[in-house]
Structure 1
């Protein structure tokens, strides 16, 4: 049975935005990487006050067309989908969260590498990554980034599990599977099939110099 996850993230009380957390703790520099659900209209001031200089919206273009980001058009904003255009429903990709995450890793290797490249190449300051709830796509991107930065797998899994505390139960799909065990299984698959985060991302198109940039911007001196 999973233990209560450790509080490695700093919870951010951003208006109009759920599940916002600064990943700074231990190896990770405070303010370098932030995760959240979709920001609302009232969130913009808080985002930039936190030092964020790049916002990566991980949703499909079909999602952003229907529900545009309030930051759309801002110089800090980029829309980089984790999913392929044809993968419009996560629930069609597997019957459990670990199965879905395996499918996203297998099908989205190039897209995920492009997101990590955008983190590497972002302007000086913090990077915010978000999807809709900040759970699945955001969870995978954060896991890859933290793994590249050398954060132990148990800490990555514990941080992922915190998401279950910040989402409304009635509106959260597969809430009971947002656990450390789910992320541990995902990281085990990544390691066993691809050799880990770094070989996976390099094979997807992330450059070796970008791996170094991700590490340098995320890790505390």
Structure 2
């Protein structure tokens, strides 16, 4: 019986792994490598469920179903002391019948508060390149704290929708009287129109076989657009692009919006008129995808439009996607 709907969640010091389907012959392998199941193998604790003790090193769960082969899963959001929205973009199904590969592509919020333990975690993930999408001012004010083994590449995807401080000034001086889902999605479409060269640079790094992390400050706007482009390139359907975007709302640091809400209120405005600024509602990415389809049609057409050839798309997919169910 085919294994589907694998889910890995954290419960204190344990990983709870659940799935649907599978035969009595199914085995569970646990390793620190998304591509190698290793030799730590066990039987499930119960049909469709097993519990695994967590370790300091990231763990990948390899379910082996004899009629299907290996199916890999892991926690979506990684534990970091100095980042809250650090996520692995593996495990999403694609239109080609494969999945995005775990351990290849990561997204995050700000990295300027990473601890020494966080830096060690990044090294253990074998991430070779970090693409910093923040503005020049953001980088100067709060430079990334990265291990020396990681190359830092600055790609400033400057946009008014992504920089709350500049928008706050416009709210206070009365030039911005509201900010809603339409405004945010329009800003995302401007990023898609204006930063094709940046997307190409990240795609080329992926084709080179390197593990990549990209981030901005909140990890939802500039980072969300980059994730949409790369997962779309991999062939991930729009429904899962919406899921991935919306997850930032779940993992964002509690209270990060409070200073902005208070300043807006103190200036005599209603913060609720601007709440899209610090949220990641599903409707924003849905509007973005609708505008994207009206403008370019599909992801391949968009990539061609910014100068990515069909051959390059195929090469990037080969790096980003599994073959079948492995």
Question: Shorter-chain TM-score: which interval?
Answer: 0.7 to 0.9
1:81 aligns with 2:156: yes
1:184 aligns with 2:314: no
Paired residues for 1:188-203 under 5 Å:
188-203=290-305
Scaled by the length of structure 2, the TM-score of the pair is 0.58
Q: 1:65 aligns with which of 140, 156, 163?
A: 140
Bigger shift: 34-43 or 172-181? 172-181
Structure with more helix by fraction: 1
1:41 aligns with 2:114: yes
Q: 2:198 aligns with which of 91, 97, 111?
A: 111
Scaled by the length of structure 1, the TM-score of the pair is 0.82
What is the RMSD of the two structures over their aligned residues, measured on CA atoms?
3.0
Paired residues for 1:105-144 under 5 Å:
105-121=192-208, 124-144=209-229
1:167 aligns with 2:233: no
Query: Unpaired segments of 5 or more residues in structure 1?
Result: 1-5
Once the two structures are superposed, what CA deviation does each residue of 1:71-111 show, in whole Å capped at 9, x if it has no partner? Answer: 38755221122237x99847479933212212222333333
Structure with more strand by fraction: 2
Displacement after TM superposition at 1:116 (Å):
3.0
CA distance in 2: counterparts of 1:185 and 1:38, whole angstroms: 26
CA distance in 2: counterparts of 1:72 and 1:179, whole angstroms: 33
For the 8 Å contact 2:184–2:277, the answer to whether it is kept is: no
Aligned to 1:216: 318
Change in Cα spacing, 1:32 to 1:72, as seen in structure 2 (3 Å) is closer
For the 8 Å contact 2:128–2:149, the answer to whether it is kept is: no
Aligned to 1:3: none
Change in Cα spacing, 1:79 to 1:14, as seen in structure 2 (3 Å) is same
What is the number of residues matched between the two proteins? 213
For the 8 Å contact 1:164–1:175, the answer to whether it is kept is: no
Structure with higher Rg: it is 2
**4+ residue stretches of structure 1 with deviation over 6 A?**
6-9
Bigger shift: 210-219 or 173-182? 173-182
Aligned to 1:23: 89
Q: 1:50 aligns with which of 119, 125, 140?
A: 125
Bigger shift: 88-97 or 40-49? 88-97
Bigger shift: 155-164 or 204-213? 204-213
Displacement after TM superposition at 1:194 (Å):
1.6
Displacement after TM superposition at 1:157 (Å):
0.5
